[in-house]
């Protein structure tokens, strides 16, 4: 993940940590998602846990019951927030909770146990939980229309999303705003760049093949002309040869439109010119192997007989015709 993507994810998490739940039930649900003992490397998430605990204490009439924040020791980067009393996660009942409480819970769970990774082609969001908690979370996510997969990894349950669309819906649901818009803008820009690169690469490859074929065809025509064999070919083939000489950069379709014939006729004529250029005695000995396979099973009365290409003479025929 690039530095800019890493900064974007950090900004998104800080934006989520800065949300102040308006309802007391939402505060209790979010603190349940954060867990009883939170360990985080992000100061914004540690401040969120402290703030929620203080607000919940005021809601419940115990303002002096404050959590304990253990600052990171020298050389360490993790903040630890410890709170006494009942584990808030055990007091949260998903089945009985309102939708807004469920989303608050998921926001806290994402900040405490979740991570988001961005790459050129896709996004990846995962929750790392205890093995027995992973299938429960998958069930809960499916109940709100956001199915996820899970697997065991190094003894931990990992719940994952790999669909950028599902990840966007989830982040939007739990309160992401400006950071999510930036993330989606980057995803669209990457997709457009990828599509544009594929089109450019395909066009470049086609152009290179067309240029190489045109060079071969012009060289074949020049050789046949220099050897005096071009004038002995059918008039239709000579017309194609003249058109290719005059417009070496033209496509087969453009040549066909100029001559008023089918594109396949132009292609067969150019193939015949190339074949004749490397077979000195081709005019006297039938069709080329490529054209012979294409014309198998057709009658001799075909109206396109003049486009047939001479084939290479066999060794037996050479022996029969030699003096």
d(Cα 30, Cα 122) in Å, to the nearest integer?
28
- The pLDDT tens digits for 102-140 are 999 999 999 999 999 887 667 889 999 999 999 999 999
Rounded mean pLDDT, 275-300: 53
Rounded mean pLDDT, 67-82: 62
Q: Is 68 exposed, middle or buried (0-12, 13-18, 19+ CB in 10 A)?
A: exposed
Which residues fall within 8 angstroms of residue 50, CB to CB, at 6 or more apart? Answer: 66, 67, 69, 81
pLDDT of residue 305: 39
Q: How confident is the model at residue 323 (pLDDT cuts 50, 70, 90)?
A: very low
| 35 has a pLDDT exceeding 50 | yes
- Going along 137-293, which residue ranges are E strands? 149-153, 156-161
d(Cα 221, Cα 314) in Å, to the nearest integer?
25
pLDDT of residue 5: 78
Starting from the edge strand earliest in sequence, which strands make up the sheet with 114-118, in order? 114-118, 123-129, 156-161, 149-153
Domain boundaries, the chain: 3-176, 201-295
| 27 has a pLDDT exceeding 50 | yes
* Residue predicted with more confidence, 1 or 152: 152
| 308 has a pLDDT exceeding 90 | no
pLDDT of residue 71: 61
Residue 263 CA: distances (Å) to CA of 240, 246, 253, 269, 290: 11, 17, 6, 10, 17
pLDDT of residue 183: 78
| 86 has a pLDDT exceeding 60 | no
Rounded mean pLDDT, 188-204: 85
| 309 has a pLDDT exceeding 50 | no
Q: How confident is the model at residue 271 (pLDDT cuts 50, 70, 90)?
A: very high
Q: What angle do CA 130, 79, 5 make, to 5 degrees?
A: 80
| 315 has a pLDDT exceeding 50 | no
Which has the minimum average pLDDT: 64-78, 102-116, 150-164, 185-199?
64-78
- What's the chain's average pLDDT? 79
pLDDT of residue 119: 75
| 284 has a pLDDT exceeding 90 | no
d(Cα 27, Cα 52) in Å, to the nearest integer?
6
pLDDT of residue 210: 87
| 289 has a pLDDT exceeding 60 | no
pLDDT of residue 3: 77
Exposure string for 298-309, b = 16+ CB within 10 A, e = fewer: eeeeeeeeebbb
Q: Which CATH architecture has domain 3-176?
A: Roll (3.10)
- For residue 161, list its beta bridge partners: 125
Which pTM was predicted? 0.60
Rounded mean pLDDT, 45-68: 75
| 46 has a pLDDT exceeding 70 | yes
């Amino acid at each position: 993940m690039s530095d800019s993507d890493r900064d974007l994810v950090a900004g998104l998490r800080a934006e989520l940590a800065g949300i102040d739940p308006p309802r007391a039930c939402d505060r209790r649900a979010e603190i349940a998602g954060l867990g009883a003992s939170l360990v985080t490397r992000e100061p914004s998430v540690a401040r969120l846990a402290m703030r929620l605990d203080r607000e919940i204490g005021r809601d419940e009439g115990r303002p002096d019951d404050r959590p304990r924040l253990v600052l990171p020791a020298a050389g360490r980067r993790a903040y630890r927030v410890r709170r006494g009393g009942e584990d808030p996660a055990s007091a949260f009942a998903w089945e009985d909770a309102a939708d807004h409480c469920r989303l608050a819970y998921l926001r806290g769970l994402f900040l405490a146990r979740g991570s988001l990774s961005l790459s050129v082609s896709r996004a990846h969001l995962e929750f790392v939980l205890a093995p027995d908690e992973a299938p429960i979370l998958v069930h809960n996510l499916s109940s709100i229309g956001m199915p996820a997969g899970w697997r065991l990894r190094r003894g931990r349950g990992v719940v994952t999303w790999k669909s950028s669309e599902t990840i966007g819906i989830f982040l939007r649901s739990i309160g992401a705003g400006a950071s999510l818009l930036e993330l989606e803008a980057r995803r669209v820009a990457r997709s457009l760049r990828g599509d544009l690169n594929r089109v450019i690469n395909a066009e470049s490859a086609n152009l290179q093949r067309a240029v190489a074929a045109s060079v071969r065809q012009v060289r074949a025509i020049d050789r046949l002309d220099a050897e005096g064999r071009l004038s002995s070919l059918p008039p239709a083939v000579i017309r194609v040869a003249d058109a290719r000489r005059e417009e070496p950069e033209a496509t087969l379709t453009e040549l066909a439109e100029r001559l008023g014939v089918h594109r396949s006729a132009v292609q067969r004529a150019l193939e015949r010119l190339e074949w004749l250029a490397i077979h000195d005695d081709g005019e006297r000995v039938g069709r080329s192997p490529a054209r012979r396979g294409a014309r198998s099973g057709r009658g001799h009365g075909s109206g396109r007989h003049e486009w047939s290409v001479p084939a290479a003479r066999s060794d037996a025929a050479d022996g029969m015709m030699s003096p």
